Amino acid sequence: MNITKEQIDDLNAVVKVAISKEDYQDKVDQILKDYRKQANIPGFRKGQVPMGLIKKQYGKAVLVDEVNKLLQDNLNKYLTEEKLDVLGNPLPKQQDNFDWENDNLAFEFELGLAPSFEVNLKTKKAVTQYKIVADKKMIDEQVERIQKQYGKLVSKTEVGKNDEVTGTFVNEAEDINNKTTIEVSKLKAKKAIDALLGKKVGDAVSISTKGLFKEDYLLSSALGISRDKADKLNTEVTFTIEEINEREPAKLDQELFDKLFGKDNVKSEKELKERIKEDSEKQFEQQSDQKLLNDITEKLIDETKFDLPAEFLRKWIQVSGEKMLSDDEAKEEFERSEKGLRYQLIEGKIIQENNLQVQFEELKEFAKGFIKSQMAQYGHMDPKDEELEGIAARVLGNQDEVRRLSEQLMSQKLLDLYKEKANLKVKEVSYDDFIKEAYS
Protein backbone atom coordinates (compact mmCIF):
# COMPACT_ATOMS: atom_id res chain seq x y z
CA MET A 1 0.00 0.00 0.00
CA ASN A 2 1.22 3.48 -0.86
CA ILE A 3 -0.25 6.79 0.43
CA THR A 4 0.75 10.18 -0.92
CA LYS A 5 -0.55 13.72 -0.45
CA GLU A 6 -1.00 16.43 -3.08
CA GLN A 7 -1.30 19.92 -1.62
CA ILE A 8 -3.90 21.95 -3.54
CA ASP A 9 -3.57 25.12 -1.46
CA ASP A 10 -3.17 26.07 2.22
CA LEU A 11 -6.63 24.73 3.11
CA ASN A 12 -7.15 21.84 0.68
CA ALA A 13 -5.28 18.65 -0.19
CA VAL A 14 -5.88 15.33 -1.92
CA VAL A 15 -4.62 12.05 -0.47
CA LYS A 16 -4.03 9.22 -2.94
CA VAL A 17 -4.10 5.61 -1.73
CA ALA A 18 -2.78 2.80 -3.91
CA ILE A 19 -3.74 -0.74 -2.82
CA SER A 20 -2.28 -3.83 -4.44
CA LYS A 21 -3.69 -7.35 -4.47
CA GLU A 22 -1.10 -8.45 -1.90
CA ASP A 23 -2.59 -6.00 0.63
CA TYR A 24 -5.99 -7.69 0.76
CA GLN A 25 -6.00 -11.09 -0.97
CA ASP A 26 -4.95 -13.29 1.99
CA LYS A 27 -7.67 -11.81 4.19
CA VAL A 28 -10.32 -12.13 1.45
CA ASP A 29 -9.36 -15.78 0.79
CA GLN A 30 -9.57 -16.62 4.50
CA ILE A 31 -13.03 -15.09 4.86
CA LEU A 32 -14.30 -16.92 1.79
CA LYS A 33 -12.93 -20.22 3.20
CA ASP A 34 -14.86 -19.55 6.40
CA TYR A 35 -17.99 -18.82 4.35
CA ARG A 36 -17.54 -22.11 2.53
CA LYS A 37 -17.41 -24.04 5.82
CA GLN A 38 -20.71 -22.52 6.96
CA ALA A 39 -22.59 -22.17 3.65
CA ASN A 40 -25.92 -24.01 3.26
CA ILE A 41 -26.70 -24.16 -0.47
CA PRO A 42 -29.28 -26.62 -1.86
CA GLY A 43 -27.61 -29.51 -3.71
CA PHE A 44 -24.38 -29.40 -1.72
CA ARG A 45 -23.38 -30.83 1.61
CA LYS A 46 -22.34 -28.32 4.26
CA GLY A 47 -18.67 -27.47 3.78
CA GLN A 48 -18.55 -29.02 0.28
CA VAL A 49 -19.81 -26.07 -1.77
CA PRO A 50 -17.40 -25.37 -4.67
CA MET A 51 -15.16 -22.36 -3.98
CA GLY A 52 -16.03 -20.98 -7.41
CA LEU A 53 -19.68 -20.71 -6.36
CA ILE A 54 -18.74 -19.07 -3.04
CA LYS A 55 -16.59 -16.51 -4.87
CA LYS A 56 -19.38 -15.83 -7.36
CA GLN A 57 -21.91 -15.18 -4.57
CA TYR A 58 -19.77 -13.44 -1.94
CA GLY A 59 -16.42 -12.55 -3.52
CA LYS A 60 -17.06 -8.96 -4.51
CA ALA A 61 -18.89 -8.04 -1.29
CA VAL A 62 -16.04 -9.44 0.82
CA LEU A 63 -13.43 -7.69 -1.33
CA VAL A 64 -15.20 -4.32 -1.05
CA ASP A 65 -15.62 -4.73 2.71
CA GLU A 66 -11.97 -5.62 3.31
CA VAL A 67 -10.63 -2.85 1.06
CA ASN A 68 -12.82 -0.30 2.87
CA LYS A 69 -11.46 -1.49 6.22
CA LEU A 70 -7.90 -1.17 4.90
CA LEU A 71 -8.64 2.33 3.63
CA GLN A 72 -10.17 3.51 6.88
CA ASP A 73 -7.44 2.08 9.13
CA ASN A 74 -4.49 3.19 7.04
CA LEU A 75 -5.88 6.60 6.15
CA ASN A 76 -6.50 7.43 9.83
CA LYS A 77 -3.02 6.16 10.69
CA TYR A 78 -1.50 8.31 7.91
CA LEU A 79 -3.31 11.47 9.08
CA THR A 80 -2.09 10.87 12.64
CA GLU A 81 1.51 10.13 11.68
CA GLU A 82 1.70 13.11 9.32
CA LYS A 83 0.07 15.32 12.00
CA LEU A 84 -2.47 16.67 9.53
CA ASP A 85 -5.06 18.86 11.26
CA VAL A 86 -8.16 18.14 9.20
CA LEU A 87 -11.69 19.52 9.40
CA GLY A 88 -14.53 17.06 9.06
CA ASN A 89 -13.57 13.70 7.55
CA PRO A 90 -11.76 12.79 4.31
CA LEU A 91 -14.19 12.76 1.38
CA PRO A 92 -13.74 10.04 -1.27
CA LYS A 93 -13.54 11.51 -4.77
CA GLN A 94 -16.07 10.12 -7.22
CA GLN A 95 -14.48 7.70 -9.70
CA ASP A 96 -16.61 6.74 -12.69
CA ASN A 97 -16.44 3.16 -14.01
CA PHE A 98 -14.37 1.96 -11.06
CA ASP A 99 -13.15 -1.58 -11.78
CA TRP A 100 -13.07 -3.85 -8.71
CA GLU A 101 -11.66 -6.65 -10.91
CA ASN A 102 -8.33 -4.80 -11.15
CA ASP A 103 -5.52 -6.25 -9.04
CA ASN A 104 -4.27 -2.75 -8.22
CA LEU A 105 -6.85 -0.30 -6.83
CA ALA A 106 -6.42 3.47 -6.52
CA PHE A 107 -8.48 5.84 -4.39
CA GLU A 108 -8.43 9.59 -3.82
CA PHE A 109 -9.73 11.54 -0.82
CA GLU A 110 -10.27 15.27 -0.48
CA LEU A 111 -9.07 16.87 2.76
CA GLY A 112 -10.12 20.16 4.34
CA LEU A 113 -7.20 21.49 6.40
CA ALA A 114 -7.42 23.62 9.51
CA PRO A 115 -6.15 27.16 8.90
CA SER A 116 -3.06 28.64 10.49
CA PHE A 117 -3.78 31.72 12.63
CA GLU A 118 -2.83 33.56 15.82
CA VAL A 119 -5.11 34.35 18.76
CA ASN A 120 -4.58 37.59 20.67
CA LEU A 121 -6.41 37.69 24.00
CA LYS A 122 -5.61 41.40 24.24
CA THR A 123 -8.49 42.38 21.95
CA LYS A 124 -8.46 45.82 20.35
CA LYS A 125 -11.46 46.96 22.34
CA ALA A 126 -11.74 46.11 26.04
CA VAL A 127 -14.51 43.72 27.09
CA THR A 128 -16.65 44.82 30.04
CA GLN A 129 -16.39 42.63 33.12
CA TYR A 130 -19.46 43.37 35.22
CA LYS A 131 -19.20 43.30 39.01
CA ILE A 132 -22.78 43.10 40.26
CA VAL A 133 -23.33 44.51 43.73
CA ALA A 134 -26.37 43.93 45.92
CA ASP A 135 -27.60 47.45 46.77
CA LYS A 136 -29.61 48.51 49.85
CA LYS A 137 -32.93 48.33 48.00
CA MET A 138 -32.32 44.74 46.91
CA ILE A 139 -31.18 43.64 50.38
CA ASP A 140 -34.19 45.26 52.05
CA GLU A 141 -36.53 43.58 49.56
CA GLN A 142 -34.88 40.22 50.26
CA VAL A 143 -35.31 40.71 54.02
CA GLU A 144 -38.96 41.55 53.42
CA ARG A 145 -39.42 38.39 51.29
CA ILE A 146 -37.83 36.26 54.01
CA GLN A 147 -40.09 37.76 56.67
CA LYS A 148 -43.10 37.13 54.47
CA GLN A 149 -42.06 33.58 53.57
CA TYR A 150 -41.51 32.58 57.20
CA GLY A 151 -44.36 34.64 58.60
CA LYS A 152 -47.73 33.25 59.74
CA LEU A 153 -51.17 33.60 58.21
CA VAL A 154 -53.82 35.48 60.18
CA SER A 155 -57.43 34.95 59.12
CA LYS A 156 -59.36 38.07 58.02
CA THR A 157 -63.07 38.78 57.52
CA GLU A 158 -62.63 41.36 54.73
CA VAL A 159 -60.14 41.71 51.89
CA GLY A 160 -57.43 44.31 52.51
CA LYS A 161 -54.73 45.63 50.18
CA ASN A 162 -51.98 43.42 51.69
CA ASP A 163 -54.00 40.21 51.96
CA GLU A 164 -53.81 36.81 50.32
CA VAL A 165 -57.16 35.71 48.94
CA THR A 166 -58.00 32.09 48.13
CA GLY A 167 -60.84 31.45 45.72
CA THR A 168 -61.90 29.93 42.41
CA PHE A 169 -61.73 31.56 38.96
CA VAL A 170 -64.52 30.46 36.61
CA ASN A 171 -65.35 31.12 32.96
CA GLU A 172 -67.28 28.26 31.35
CA ALA A 173 -66.83 29.54 27.79
CA GLU A 174 -63.02 29.48 28.16
CA ASP A 175 -63.09 26.21 30.15
CA ILE A 176 -61.61 27.92 33.22
CA ASN A 177 -62.30 26.51 36.68
CA ASN A 178 -59.26 26.92 38.92
CA LYS A 179 -58.81 27.29 42.66
CA THR A 180 -55.85 29.48 43.56
CA THR A 181 -54.46 32.04 45.99
CA ILE A 182 -53.72 35.56 44.80
CA GLU A 183 -51.92 38.42 46.53
CA VAL A 184 -53.79 41.70 46.25
CA SER A 185 -50.47 43.58 46.25
CA LYS A 186 -49.52 41.81 42.99
CA LEU A 187 -52.63 42.96 41.13
CA LYS A 188 -52.21 45.77 38.62
CA ALA A 189 -55.76 46.51 37.40
CA LYS A 190 -57.36 49.19 39.63
CA LYS A 191 -60.88 47.95 38.83
CA ALA A 192 -59.99 44.47 40.04
CA ILE A 193 -58.40 45.80 43.24
CA ASP A 194 -61.43 48.02 43.96
CA ALA A 195 -63.76 45.08 43.28
CA LEU A 196 -61.97 42.89 45.82
CA LEU A 197 -61.29 45.35 48.67
CA GLY A 198 -63.83 44.97 51.47
CA LYS A 199 -65.30 41.73 50.10
CA LYS A 200 -65.97 38.74 52.37
CA VAL A 201 -65.84 34.94 52.15
CA GLY A 202 -68.59 33.75 49.81
CA ASP A 203 -68.64 36.93 47.74
CA ALA A 204 -68.14 36.65 43.97
CA VAL A 205 -66.62 39.40 41.85
CA SER A 206 -66.27 39.79 38.08
CA ILE A 207 -62.72 40.60 36.97
CA SER A 208 -61.21 41.36 33.57
CA THR A 209 -58.16 39.26 32.66
CA LYS A 210 -56.53 42.06 30.66
CA GLY A 211 -53.63 43.60 32.60
CA LEU A 212 -54.77 41.88 35.78
CA PHE A 213 -51.34 41.30 37.33
CA LYS A 214 -48.21 43.43 37.56
CA GLU A 215 -46.30 40.42 36.19
CA ASP A 216 -48.00 38.90 33.12
CA TYR A 217 -46.76 35.37 33.84
CA LEU A 218 -48.93 35.18 36.99
CA LEU A 219 -52.16 35.08 34.97
CA SER A 220 -51.64 31.59 33.51
CA SER A 221 -51.07 29.95 36.92
CA ALA A 222 -53.96 31.88 38.49
CA LEU A 223 -56.39 30.69 35.80
CA GLY A 224 -54.86 27.23 35.38
CA ILE A 225 -54.25 27.65 31.64
CA SER A 226 -51.22 27.69 29.33
CA ARG A 227 -49.02 30.78 29.07
CA ASP A 228 -49.80 31.10 25.35
CA LYS A 229 -53.54 31.09 26.00
CA ALA A 230 -53.20 33.51 28.93
CA ASP A 231 -51.17 35.99 26.85
CA LYS A 232 -54.01 36.19 24.28
CA LEU A 233 -56.92 36.12 26.73
CA ASN A 234 -59.13 39.20 27.14
CA THR A 235 -62.33 38.27 28.92
CA GLU A 236 -64.26 38.46 32.19
CA VAL A 237 -63.86 35.79 34.86
CA THR A 238 -65.77 35.26 38.09
CA PHE A 239 -63.71 34.97 41.27
CA THR A 240 -65.51 33.47 44.29
CA ILE A 241 -63.76 34.14 47.60
CA GLU A 242 -63.23 31.13 49.90
CA GLU A 243 -60.57 32.34 52.35
CA ILE A 244 -58.92 35.64 53.33
CA ASN A 245 -55.58 35.83 55.14
CA GLU A 246 -53.03 38.44 56.05
CA ARG A 247 -49.44 37.25 56.28
CA GLU A 248 -47.87 38.55 59.47
CA PRO A 249 -44.12 39.03 58.86
CA ALA A 250 -41.72 36.86 60.85
CA LYS A 251 -39.68 38.62 63.51
CA LEU A 252 -36.01 39.14 62.78
CA ASP A 253 -34.88 37.14 65.79
CA GLN A 254 -32.41 34.36 66.58
CA GLU A 255 -35.00 31.66 65.90
CA LEU A 256 -35.37 32.88 62.31
CA PHE A 257 -31.61 33.34 61.83
CA ASP A 258 -30.94 29.78 63.04
CA LYS A 259 -33.65 28.44 60.74
CA LEU A 260 -32.07 30.17 57.75
CA PHE A 261 -28.33 29.66 58.35
CA GLY A 262 -27.86 27.13 61.15
CA LYS A 263 -27.38 27.73 64.84
CA ASP A 264 -25.57 30.96 65.77
CA ASN A 265 -24.07 31.51 62.28
CA VAL A 266 -25.99 34.80 62.08
CA LYS A 267 -26.78 36.74 65.28
CA SER A 268 -28.24 40.10 64.24
CA GLU A 269 -30.18 41.92 61.56
CA LYS A 270 -26.93 43.57 60.46
CA GLU A 271 -25.25 40.18 60.05
CA LEU A 272 -28.33 38.90 58.21
CA LYS A 273 -28.05 41.72 55.66
CA GLU A 274 -24.31 41.16 55.29
CA ARG A 275 -24.95 37.45 54.64
CA ILE A 276 -27.69 38.23 52.10
CA LYS A 277 -25.34 40.66 50.34
CA GLU A 278 -22.52 38.09 50.27
CA ASP A 279 -24.73 35.22 49.05
CA SER A 280 -26.47 37.38 46.44
CA GLU A 281 -23.22 38.69 44.98
CA LYS A 282 -21.85 35.15 44.83
CA GLN A 283 -24.88 34.14 42.75
CA PHE A 284 -24.54 37.27 40.61
CA GLU A 285 -20.93 36.35 39.90
CA GLN A 286 -22.10 33.26 38.01
CA GLN A 287 -24.27 35.44 35.77
CA SER A 288 -21.58 38.04 35.17
CA ASP A 289 -19.03 35.30 34.48
CA GLN A 290 -21.29 33.73 31.87
CA LYS A 291 -21.84 37.14 30.30
CA LEU A 292 -18.06 37.73 30.26
CA LEU A 293 -17.42 34.33 28.67
CA ASN A 294 -20.03 35.02 25.97
CA ASP A 295 -18.70 38.52 25.26
CA ILE A 296 -15.07 37.41 24.99
CA THR A 297 -16.13 34.57 22.70
CA GLU A 298 -17.90 37.03 20.40
CA LYS A 299 -14.94 39.42 20.47
CA LEU A 300 -12.41 36.69 19.65
CA ILE A 301 -14.53 35.43 16.75
CA ASP A 302 -14.83 38.99 15.46
CA GLU A 303 -11.14 39.87 15.73
CA THR A 304 -9.43 36.54 14.89
CA LYS A 305 -9.39 36.46 11.10
CA PHE A 306 -8.75 33.31 9.04
CA ASP A 307 -10.17 31.50 6.02
CA LEU A 308 -11.89 28.14 6.06
CA PRO A 309 -12.02 25.46 3.31
CA ALA A 310 -15.63 26.50 2.73
CA GLU A 311 -16.28 24.49 -0.46
CA PHE A 312 -14.94 21.30 1.13
CA LEU A 313 -16.98 21.84 4.31
CA ARG A 314 -20.17 22.40 2.33
CA LYS A 315 -19.57 19.11 0.49
CA TRP A 316 -18.78 17.34 3.75
CA ILE A 317 -21.94 18.68 5.42
CA GLN A 318 -23.93 17.56 2.38
CA VAL A 319 -23.02 13.88 2.81
CA SER A 320 -22.19 13.49 6.52
CA GLY A 321 -25.71 13.55 7.99
CA GLU A 322 -28.41 10.90 8.13
CA LYS A 323 -29.72 12.04 4.77
CA MET A 324 -28.12 13.64 1.75
CA LEU A 325 -28.65 17.40 1.61
CA SER A 326 -29.18 19.49 -1.48
CA ASP A 327 -26.58 22.08 -2.46
CA ASP A 328 -28.75 24.88 -1.04
CA GLU A 329 -29.42 22.99 2.21
CA ALA A 330 -25.70 22.28 2.68
CA LYS A 331 -24.89 25.95 2.04
CA GLU A 332 -27.46 27.09 4.62
CA GLU A 333 -26.21 24.57 7.19
CA PHE A 334 -22.62 25.70 6.68
CA GLU A 335 -23.62 29.33 7.19
CA ARG A 336 -25.45 28.38 10.41
CA SER A 337 -22.53 26.38 11.79
CA GLU A 338 -19.60 28.52 10.56
CA LYS A 339 -19.46 30.76 13.63
CA GLY A 340 -19.42 27.77 16.00
CA LEU A 341 -16.71 26.07 13.95
CA ARG A 342 -14.57 29.21 14.03
CA TYR A 343 -14.80 29.37 17.82
CA GLN A 344 -14.00 25.66 18.15
CA LEU A 345 -10.76 26.31 16.27
CA ILE A 346 -9.99 29.44 18.32
CA GLU A 347 -10.77 27.70 21.61
CA GLY A 348 -8.69 24.66 20.61
CA LYS A 349 -5.70 26.90 19.90
CA ILE A 350 -6.10 28.76 23.21
CA ILE A 351 -6.30 25.46 25.10
CA GLN A 352 -3.22 24.11 23.31
CA GLU A 353 -1.08 27.25 23.64
CA ASN A 354 -1.91 27.66 27.35
CA ASN A 355 -1.74 23.95 28.20
CA LEU A 356 -5.25 23.89 29.63
CA GLN A 357 -5.80 20.22 30.33
CA VAL A 358 -8.45 18.57 32.50
CA GLN A 359 -6.78 16.06 34.83
CA PHE A 360 -8.84 13.35 36.55
CA GLU A 361 -8.00 14.46 40.10
CA GLU A 362 -9.07 18.04 39.48
CA LEU A 363 -12.20 16.79 37.70
CA LYS A 364 -13.01 14.73 40.81
CA GLU A 365 -12.52 17.79 43.06
CA PHE A 366 -14.67 19.86 40.71
CA ALA A 367 -17.40 17.18 40.86
CA LYS A 368 -17.23 17.12 44.68
CA GLY A 369 -17.62 20.90 44.80
CA PHE A 370 -20.63 20.73 42.48
CA ILE A 371 -22.20 17.94 44.58
CA LYS A 372 -21.58 19.88 47.80
CA SER A 373 -23.35 22.96 46.45
CA GLN A 374 -26.29 20.82 45.31
CA MET A 375 -26.55 19.23 48.76
CA ALA A 376 -26.47 22.66 50.41
CA GLN A 377 -29.60 23.64 48.47
CA TYR A 378 -31.42 20.84 50.28
CA GLY A 379 -30.13 21.83 53.72
CA HIS A 380 -27.19 19.41 53.92
CA MET A 381 -24.61 22.06 54.72
CA ASP A 382 -21.59 20.07 55.90
CA PRO A 383 -21.27 16.65 54.21
CA LYS A 384 -18.29 14.46 55.12
CA ASP A 385 -15.51 14.04 52.57
CA GLU A 386 -16.03 10.26 52.32
CA GLU A 387 -19.68 10.89 51.48
CA LEU A 388 -18.67 13.30 48.72
CA GLU A 389 -16.03 10.82 47.46
CA GLY A 390 -18.64 8.07 47.14
CA ILE A 391 -21.14 10.24 45.26
CA ALA A 392 -18.40 11.64 43.00
CA ALA A 393 -17.23 8.12 42.14
CA ARG A 394 -20.76 7.19 41.04
CA VAL A 395 -21.17 10.40 39.04
CA LEU A 396 -17.82 9.95 37.28
CA GLY A 397 -18.79 6.40 36.38
CA ASN A 398 -21.27 7.90 33.90
CA GLN A 399 -19.55 8.98 30.66
CA ASP A 400 -22.22 11.60 29.90
CA GLU A 401 -21.64 13.19 33.31
CA VAL A 402 -17.86 13.06 32.82
CA ARG A 403 -18.24 14.88 29.49
CA ARG A 404 -20.61 17.47 30.96
CA LEU A 405 -18.43 18.19 34.00
CA SER A 406 -15.26 18.26 31.87
CA GLU A 407 -16.84 20.90 29.62
CA GLN A 408 -17.84 22.96 32.66
CA LEU A 409 -14.36 22.68 34.17
CA MET A 410 -12.73 23.67 30.89
CA SER A 411 -15.05 26.68 30.65
CA GLN A 412 -13.92 27.66 34.15
CA LYS A 413 -10.26 27.30 33.15
CA LEU A 414 -10.85 29.47 30.08
CA LEU A 415 -12.67 32.05 32.18
CA ASP A 416 -9.79 32.19 34.68
CA LEU A 417 -7.35 32.62 31.79
CA TYR A 418 -9.42 35.44 30.28
CA LYS A 419 -9.63 37.22 33.63
CA GLU A 420 -5.84 37.05 33.86
CA LYS A 421 -4.83 37.87 30.28
CA ALA A 422 -7.73 39.41 28.32
CA ASN A 423 -8.29 43.11 27.75
CA LEU A 424 -10.97 43.79 30.36
CA LYS A 425 -12.54 46.82 32.02
CA VAL A 426 -14.37 46.25 35.33
CA LYS A 427 -17.70 47.99 35.83
CA GLU A 428 -19.68 47.92 39.09
CA VAL A 429 -23.46 47.86 38.60
CA SER A 430 -26.62 46.97 40.48
CA TYR A 431 -28.43 43.82 39.39
CA ASP A 432 -31.18 45.85 37.70
CA ASP A 433 -28.64 47.91 35.78
CA PHE A 434 -26.77 44.72 34.79
CA ILE A 435 -29.97 43.27 33.31
CA LYS A 436 -30.65 46.52 31.42
CA GLU A 437 -27.10 46.78 30.03
CA ALA A 438 -26.43 43.14 29.38
CA TYR A 439 -29.70 42.03 27.81
CA SER A 440 -31.36 45.15 26.43
pLDDT digits (tens, 9 = 90+) for 345-381: 999 999 999 999 999 999 999 999 889 888 877 767 6
248's enclosing H/E stretch is strand 236-248
Please give the average per-residue pLDDT across 28-47, as a whole number.
86
Alpha-carbon distance of 402 to 358, in angstroms, equals 11
**pLDDT for residue 85:** 94
pLDDT digits (tens, 9 = 90+) for 85-128: 999 999 999 888 888 989 899 999 999 999 999 999 999 999 99
- Residue 91, sorted as left (phi over 0), alpha (psi -120 to 50) or beta, turns out to be beta
> What span, in angstroms and rounded, lies between the C-alpha atoms of 49 and 264?
89
pLDDT-based confidence at 400, cuts 50/70/90?
very high
The sign one gets for the Cα dihedral 334, 340, 346, 350 is negative
**Is 307 a residue whose pLDDT tops 80?**
yes
More confident residue, 378 or 37: 37
- In this structure, are residues 105 and 22 in contact, taking their beta carbons and an 8 Å threshold? no
Over residues 51-71, the mean pLDDT reads 92
Looking at residue 83, its pLDDT comes to 93
Query: Global pTM?
Result: 0.72
Average pLDDT of the segment spanning 148-157: 92
pLDDT value at residue 381:
66
Choice between 412 and 41, residue whose per-residue pLDDT is larger: 412
Please list, in sequence order, all residues whose beta carbon lies within 8 angstroms of the beta carbon of residue 157, skipping any fewer than 6 positions away. Answer: 200, 201, 244
The answer to whether residue 302 scores a pLDDT higher than 70 is yes
Question: What pLDDT does residue 379 have?
Answer: 67
DSSP helix/strand/coil, 183? strand
> What angle (nearest 5°) sits at the alpha carbon of residue 425, between those of residues 424 and 426?
115
**97 vs 235 pLDDT, higher one:** 235
Separation between Cα atoms, residue 406 and residue 363, nearest integer Å: 7
Residues near 13 by beta carbon (within 8 Å), at least 6 away in sequence: 5, 6, 7, 84, 110, 111, 113
Q: Is 40 exposed, middle or buried (0-12, 13-18, 19+ CB in 10 A)?
A: exposed
* C-alpha R_g of the chain: 34
